[in-house]
Amino acid sequence: MVERIEEHDGIPDVLYQLSSNISTAVKADEVFLFMVGAQENSLYLCSEGEECIQLTPFAPIDPGTNIVAHVAHSRQPVFSEDILGDERFPLGTGRDGSLAKSVLSLPLIQPNGEIVAVIELSRQVGSPPFTQQEKQVCNVSL
């Protein structure tokens, strides 16, 4: 892991690698990294580009919309066993066409209390939900 992180430049690259490693450890079906825009109060979806991690505008940080915005606002990890029926997040994951059912969303916070990013791990319909042990692995990894 250290070698792969050393190959990358910048916080988004390192956090993208970290989120991928956590996803592998808990056998998530999908993992998404959202960087928090400090100035605009917005989330940016990270994706692999040819030479670097690309940031695409995703959504504003509005509580009561989707799970990632809630976590970015509250700065607390959230687990939803059934995101499709979770009334706290009427927009679910906020991604069109998402097949996510069990979702674990984790804030990445700097020592000064500033939130930098949110990792969203999910298991799709038909996969078992995350276990308590897997949730602990995620919390320990951060």
Which helix or strand (DSSP H or E) is residue 71 part of?
A: helix 67-74
Both tokens of 92, joined, read: 């679910």
CA distance 21 to 18: 5
Whether domain 2-141 has CATH 3.30.450.40: yes
- pLDDT at residue 142 in the model: 65
One pLDDT digit (tens) per residue for the chain, 142 residues: 455 445 555 788 889 888 999 999 999 999 999 999 866 689 999 998 777 788 999 999 998 999 999 999 999 999 999 998 999 999 999 998 899 999 999 999 988 888 999 999 999 999 999 998 898 888 776 6
CA distance 64 to 130: 23
- pLDDT at residue 141 in the model: 62
- Write out the E strands in 1-142: 30-37, 42-48, 53-60, 78-80, 100-109, 115-124
